[in-house]
């Protein structure tokens, strides 16, 4: 559903308004020193990055199917020969096993792939942003805002992204008790937990980045 709301540049179009994506704002406004260094030492980084993106997307899809029982559709921009092979299947099976090994009690009702909108107009600036969160629902008896990541290591932008989703859900009258970032890799898995005040703090950081992005866009 979220893909149907987006144009070729990744902007969301909702209710006759255009919203810049939360992930685009984070990519534009945060330092990329580690990414730039990785590109310098990885000559074939476009193909490596594409493969990582496909693995990450299908990991999301497989885990979401486990959580909701609904089989998601393959994104239209993924060609069959890019993802339909034994290497991919083995990789995804390993990551799903790591997810299950965390032993989390995922309850119902829950929501996955939910699009939130952040729209703020005040004297300090304007934010027009939207994004699609991974999970909102019960985990071990608490209402949790969750995000699945396939990164090798945690990044500051991941915390801010989750904070942005928290702000977006608050606008809908839904408040998480905790945030969790689930790092699911082939050989291990980690969880980073954020309390409500931390989610709020990270959300405020995103609002500042969003204002800066919007001001540059309209200048």
DSSP string, 131-189: EEEEEEEEETTEEEEEEEE--SS--HHHHHHHHHHHHHHHTTT---SEEEEEEE-SS-E
| Residue-level pLDDT at 84 | 66
* Contact criterion met (CB below 8 Å) for 113 and 1: yes
Q: How far is CA 88 from CA 45, 57, 58, 91, 143, in A?
A: 19, 12, 9, 5, 32
Helix, strand, or coil (residue 68): helix
Element (H, E) at 61: helix 45-68
Residue 175 φ then ψ, to 5°: -120, 125
Place of tokens 């409500």: 196
| Residue-level pLDDT at 33 | 55
Among candidates 160, 97, 164, which has minimal Cα distance to 130? 164
| Residue-level pLDDT at 31 | 74
| Residue-level pLDDT at 36 | 64
| Residue-level pLDDT at 47 | 78
* Structure-block tokens of residue 41: 């030492």
Residue-wise DSSP of 87-100: HHHHHHHHHHHHHH
Q: How far apart are CA 170 and CA 203, in angstroms?
A: 11
| Residue-level pLDDT at 1 | 44
Q: What's this model's pTM, rounded to 2 decimal places?
A: 0.90
Per-residue pLDDT tens digits of the chain, which is 219 residues long: 455 588 888 899 999 999 999 999 999 998 775 666 667 787 887 777 777 888 888 899 999 999 988 887 777 777 766 666 788 888 889 999 999 999 999 999 899 999 999 999 988 889 999 999 999 999 999 999 999 999 888 999 999 999 999 999 999 999 999 999 999 999 999 999 999 999 999 999 999 999 999 888 776
């Amino acid at each position: 559903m979220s893909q149907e709301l987006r144009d070729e540049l990744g902007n969301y179009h909702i209710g006759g308004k255009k919203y810049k994506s939360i992930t685009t704002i984070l990519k534009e406004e945060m330092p990329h020193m580690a990414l730039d260094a990785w590109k310098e030492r990885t000559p074939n980084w476009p193909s490596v990055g594409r493969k990582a993106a496909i693995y990450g997307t299908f990991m999301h899809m497989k885990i979401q199917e486990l959580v909701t029982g609904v089989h998601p559709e393959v994104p239209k921009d993924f060609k069959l020969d890019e993802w339909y092979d034994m290497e991919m299947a083995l990789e995804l099976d390993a990551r799903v096993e790591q997810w299950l090994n965390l032993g989390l009690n995922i309850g119902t009702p829950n929501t996955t792939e939910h699009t939130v909108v952040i729209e703020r107009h005040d004297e300090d600036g304007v934010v027009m942003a939207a994004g699609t969160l991974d999970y909102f629902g019960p985990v071990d008896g608490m209402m949790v805002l969750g995000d699945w990541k396939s990164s090798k290591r945690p990044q500051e932008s991941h915390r801010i992204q989750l904070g942005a989703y928290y702000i977006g859900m608050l606008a809908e009258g839904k408040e998480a008790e905790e945030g969790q970032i689930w790092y699911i890799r082939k050989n291990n898995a980690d969880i980073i937990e954020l309390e409500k005040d931390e989610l709020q703090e990270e959300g405020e950081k995103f609002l500042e980045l969003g204002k800066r992005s919007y001001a540059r866009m309209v200048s």
